A and B are shown apart, each in its own frame.
Chain A
């Protein structure tokens, strides 16, 4: 029995379309070579794609259907450092901060697979700090807009829908970043303590700690960056 199972296990996985059909038609497990946690994270991210997709689609709908002029984002989000206001500068800096954090995250995943504990720890920690910086800048942006009289139901610059879309979409994204920062700090603490070297069990799932977990967390973090790419293009630049 066990030799039969091993024979099945060691069957060569086919590449391409033949492999696609075989994987989906096989017993027990469609996603070959993917840890279950990673498959579950992907399922969550696909559903999250629908949430953000619906937000952006409804943003399009309200923006297209309003008779009032839409406020010009590059003026609303301009910021001056003593001189003339620079259009959209804070948003640009936030974009660079988030991309930097995506880079450190990608490297953290890589060094995690190499089981390089300290480099992984510092990269994860840097990612968390950059994420927290992003949330801080977003708080600054929100309070600036609120002080200028922008509310979810009205604003002095034009169409009222501008405020509702702004707070809804950036708020939901900000919550995602904040949750990500929390998990980045928790995971970097686990790396620091050596949980993924000793296989110490997690306090919640009771699964053994493995460096593969960092890739799953990385998927979430890159997704948050990905959503920002779309928000930046459709809301701030359009």
Chain B
């Protein structure tokens, strides 16, 4: 919490060193997910978990978000939630395109087969 008249962010060095160490460990963990070859649900669950933890630590401590006033925190964190709308629209669109392409290529196969004159 920023005190009145104080515009700096002064925190003990040890806080940064601990977060730094944690980021290293989390990065190693997310690399291990690939190295060990986890697949399916386990894979994407672990990837997302390590990603969220790393991003959270960077934003919260390195970018000093936990010490900022709520007016700034909400200004930064609320707008990006809109991106989830884009993701939802994008995935609906992608499923539809995928379906259409599948139908299209299937149709081509069906039409192409009997027309062939060499049979």
A60 engages B16 (CB within 8 Å): no
B13 engages A19 (CB within 8 Å): no
B16 engages A233 (CB within 8 Å): no
Interface centre among A30, A35, A114, A232 (most CB of B within 10 A): A232
A103 touching B71 in the complex, CB below 8 Å, given contacts A50-B83, A87-B35, A222-B62: no
B62-78 toward A: CB 8 Å interface, digit per residue (1/0)?
11100011111011100
A67 engages B101 (CB within 8 Å): yes
Give Cα A238 to B51, complex, Å. 11
Return the chain B residue nearest A92 by Cβ.
Answer: B31
Other-chain residue from B1, B13, B101 in contact with A110 (beta carbon distance below 8 A): B13
Closest approach, in angstroms, between the C-beta of B4 and any C-beta of chain A?
6
A106 engages B30 (CB within 8 Å): no
Which residues of A78-137 are within 8 A (CB) of B?
87-88, 92, 95-96, 99, 102-103, 105-107, 109-110, 113-114
How many residue pairs at the A-B interface have CB separations less than 8 Å? 175
A15 engages B1 (CB within 8 Å): yes
B2 engages A33 (CB within 8 Å): yes
Give Cα A172 to B80, complex, Å. 19
Return the chain B residue nearest A88 by Cβ.
Answer: B34
Closest approach, in angstroms, between the C-beta of B13 and any C-beta of chain A?
6
Give Cα A233 to B53, complex, Å. 12
A67 touching B80 in the complex, CB below 8 Å, given contacts A12-B4, A232-B30, A237-B34: no
Residues of the A chain whose Cβ atoms lie less than 8 Å from the Cβ of B3: 33
B6 at the interface (CB under 8 A from A): yes
A88 touching B31 in the complex, CB below 8 Å, given contacts A61-B94, A67-B102, A106-B62: yes
Closest approach, in angstroms, between the C-beta of A208 and any C-beta of chain B?
14
Interface residue count for B (Cβ, 8 Å)? 61
Return the chain B residue nearest A219 by Cβ.
Answer: B63
B101 engages A103 (CB within 8 Å): no
Residues of the B chain whose Cβ atoms lie less than 8 Å from the Cβ of A105: 62
User: A interface, by DSSP: helix, strand, loop or mixed?
Assistant: helix
Which residues of A28-70 are within 8 A (CB) of B?
30-35, 39, 42, 45-46, 49-50, 53-54, 57-58, 60-67
A222 engages B2 (CB within 8 Å): no
Give Cα A234 to B44, complex, Å. 9
Give Cα A113 to B13, complex, Å. 12
B20 engages A65 (CB within 8 Å): no
Residues of the B chain whose Cβ atoms lie less than 8 Å from the Cβ of A141: none
Residues of the B chain whose Cβ atoms lie less than 8 Å from the Cβ of A236: 34
Closest approach, in angstroms, between the C-beta of A173 and any C-beta of chain B?
15
Give Cα A225 to B51, complex, Å. 12
Give Cα A220 to B52, complex, Å. 19
A212 engages B55 (CB within 8 Å): no
Known: A65-B94, A88-B35. 20 other contacts (CB 8 A): A13-B2, A19-B71, A20-B71, A31-B75, A33-B3, A33-B6, A46-B80, A60-B91, A61-B91, A61-B93, A65-B97, A66-B98, A102-B23, A102-B58, A107-B16, A215-B9, A222-B62, A222-B63, A226-B55, A233-B47
